[in-house]
Amino acid sequence: MTKALGVAVLLFCHSVSPGSLPIWRVWNVGQGAFTTVISEAVCLHIEIGGERWPQEVQALCRGKQNWVGVSHADYDHWGFIFRLRGSVCLIAPIVVPPGLPARKLLRLNRLRRCDLQSSSSSSFGSSVGSSLNWQTFVTSPLGHSSSNEVGRWFLAMNQVLVTGDSPQSQERQMIESISGQPKWLLLGHHGSRSSTSENLLRKLKHLRGAIASARQVVYGHPHIETQLRLKKARVPLIKTEDWGHLQIELAPD
């Protein structure tokens, strides 16, 4: 626990400045998932939902392009997308759930796709060139609340891994597809015991920390079983519930 708290304090003390870009923000949105990789030209939002909208997003991303990637169609992963201002586009389509209100469905359908050179790996931000990049991985149907759509994983800068709500069955599919040496993990399904398996943690040998974007007091996330698996793997756990917004500098490897 002491190790995890020390890391969290270190992360939060950095500020956004041209010399520190690119950086990764994990927003304290309560129960949900909202993270942003910020370059001088683009804000890449990987997941964009939750209970509380973080007002600082608009200031940090003012004058930049907003590129959005969403793992799946649960509302707590995409519900803030209409709050973004300026240029907004999707790096991959969102498969919408049945029963979505017609007004929101119409707005989602109007969102344009980002003009990417490749659907699986792209670079953005003229000031950093190809050093700022991401990959997407597609898995089979989730098998829970959004039962009939695929899930997506995102690997940004070969350092940040976001797995959406993927259960351990999907983790088994994806383990061999992960390239590089991710250093940071946004816990799957907010830290549910159905995600973040021992096999995944064995694969991620170079993790510096795992981040829970959740409310343990209300929802019980991260689950105690997930916490025990992290402890066994010697991976520090950092909670937005305890520390607020987190910021990590993503220096090129």
**What does the pLDDT read at residue 98?**
67
Residue 210 lies in a domain: yes
**What does the pLDDT read at residue 180?**
78
60-86 tens-digit pLDDT: 999 999 999 998 888 899 999 999 998
Give the whole-angstrom CA distance, residue 150 versus residue 143: 9
Domain holding 97, by residue range, is: 2-13+21-248
Strands in 246-249's sheet, in edge-to-edge order, are: 112-113, 88-90, 65-69, 42-48, 34-38, 23-26, 246-249
Residue 190 lies in a domain: yes
Residue 183 lies in a domain: yes
Place 242 in a pLDDT band, splitting at 50, 70 and 90: very high
% residues pLDDT > 90 (the chain): 46
**Residue type (1 letter), 180:** G
Residue 81 lies in a domain: yes
84-110 tens-digit pLDDT: 998 999 988 776 666 777 777 777 778
**What does the pLDDT read at residue 204?**
94
**What does the pLDDT read at residue 11?**
36
**What does the pLDDT read at residue 220?**
75
What the block records as the tokens of 76 is 């707590």
Number of domains in the chain: 1
Give the whole-angstrom CA distance, residue 201 versus residue 49: 25
Residue 253 lies in a domain: no
For position 181, which CATH number holds?
3.60.15.10
**What does the pLDDT read at residue 226?**
95
Burial (CB count <10 Å: 0-12, 13-18, 19+), residue 104: middle
166-222 tens-digit pLDDT: 888 888 888 888 877 899 999 999 989 999 999 999 999 999 999 999 887 777 789
